[in-house]
């Protein structure tokens, strides 16, 4: 015998082919169901256990899949028998309290005096679950994108209202857009779960903090913020930091700013308070927080209302103080120092 002779082309015995087909069907999770012209069950292969225990020769679709599905499949398969047009169907079965979805590819078999229906059955539960999750994620992405576009539109409109030249508008708008982008990076990196307060503050400080000023002045509780809270707190910090870099403590060396987070009560419920305290280089310093400025509007109205919180901006001689209280619906304290 030549042991090097290739096997390609060698005929298999019928039993060998049958065994290989059974193994292929089993590994692929595919079942086969034959029914005669009266739609009586006549042959099945590789049915899942919960269907195999219901199967018997001469039974009907109702015996195998339940009466409701049986009636539906009976009409569908009768139409396939009549027209010869193959079709697909999906059914959901309750298997020990778990809903499983099956796809049936139904076609007419007509040959050698035999007329009947062949159904190729495969479970698509996981596939349909993934499709539902994907659709849900796409809806969520669409919702978040619309919210983000609304925020950008608001920033553009309010910045334009409070600037007198195109150059000034571009500088302020780009800065605010970059602040939004920095916050969004953290949220995206966390798979839209939010951002830690310290990471958010460091991201906002970084473009403006002098290298000679040492570590950034961030203290207290490193709360984990929701995406909504992270975006809006990022905008508030940007306004405070830019003002400080233009007229305040950062412009004078950044040695007199603290950003502190502590636990408080808001309307009798748990909350955190983020406090910005800045000592100005000169008590007569002029800053841009005028009555109608967008920065002040962001701090006092836009940010607290976006998270059902409370804010207070104090413009004292030689000091800027900002207190933002954030309700428990917008943060978690995952660990304490």
pLDDT in tens, 125-181: 999 999 888 888 778 777 777 777 888 888 888 778 877 888 888 888 888 888 888
**Whole-structure pTM value:** 0.65
Residue 8 within any structural domain of the chain: no
Residue 5 within any structural domain of the chain: no
Considering only CA atoms, which of 204, 210, 254 is closest in space to residue 225? Answer: 204
Confidence of residue 24 (pLDDT cuts 50, 70, 90): low
Count of domains forming the chain? 2
Residue 60 within any structural domain of the chain: yes
- Whether residue 234 sits in one domain with residue 328: yes
- Whether residue 264 sits in one domain with residue 288: yes
- Whether residue 159 sits in one domain with residue 51: no
- CATH number, domain with residue 53: 3.30.450.20
Residue 6 within any structural domain of the chain: no
Residue predicted with more confidence, 139 or 278: 278
- Whether residue 262 sits in one domain with residue 176: yes
96: containing domain? 17-123
Q: Which one of 123, 154, 185 terminates a domain?
A: 123
- Identify whether the C-beta of residue 280 lies closer than 8 Å to the C-beta of residue 321: no
Residue 9 within any structural domain of the chain: no
Rounded to the nearest 10 degrees, how much is the dihedral formed by the CA atoms of 100, 105, 111, 114?
A: 30
Q: Which one of 87, 104, 123 terminates a domain?
A: 123
Residue 200 within any structural domain of the chain: yes
């Amino acid at each position: 015998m030549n042991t090097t002779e290739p096997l390609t082309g060698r005929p298999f015995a019928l039993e060998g082919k049958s065994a290989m087909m059974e193994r292929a069907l089993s590994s692929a999770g595919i079942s086969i169901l034959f029914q005669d012209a009266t739609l009586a069950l006549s042959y099945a292969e590789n049915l899942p256990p919960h269907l195999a225990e219901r199967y018997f020769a001469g039974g009907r679709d109702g015996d195998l899949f339940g009466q409701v599905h049986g009636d539906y499949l009976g009409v569908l398969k009768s139409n396939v028998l009549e027209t010869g047009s193959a079709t697909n169907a999906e059914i959901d079965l309750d298997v020990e309290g778990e809903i499983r979805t099956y796809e049936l590819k139904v076609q007419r078999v007509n040959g050698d005096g035999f007329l009947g229906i062949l159904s190729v059955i495969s479970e698509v539960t996981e596939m349909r679950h993934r499709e539902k999750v994907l659709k849900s994620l796409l809806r969520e992405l669409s919702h978040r994108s619309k919210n983000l576009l609304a925020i950008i539109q608001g920033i553009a409109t309010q910045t334009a209202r409070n600037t007198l030249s195109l150059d000034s508008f571009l500088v302020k708008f780009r800065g605010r857009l970059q602040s939004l982008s920095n916050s969004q990076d953290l949220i995206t990196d966390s798979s839209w779960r939010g951002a830690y307060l310290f990471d958010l503050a460091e991201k906002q400080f970084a473009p403006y903090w002098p290298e000679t000023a040492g570590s950034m002045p961030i203290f207290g509780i490193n709360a984990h913020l929701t995406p909504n809270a992270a975006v809006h707190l990022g905008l508030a910090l940007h306004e405070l930091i830019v003002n400080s870099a233009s007229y305040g403590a950062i412009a004078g060396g950044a040695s007199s700013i603290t950003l502190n987070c502590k636990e408080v009560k808001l309307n009798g419920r748990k909350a955190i308070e983020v406090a910005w305290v800045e000592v100005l280089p000169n008590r007569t310093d002029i800053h841009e927080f005028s009555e109608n400025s967008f920065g002040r509007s962001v701090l006092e109205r836009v940010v607290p209302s976006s998270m059902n919180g409370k804010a207070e901006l104090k413009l004292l001689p030689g000091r800027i103080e900002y207190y933002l209280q954030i309700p428990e619906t917008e943060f978690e304290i995952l660990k304490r120092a």
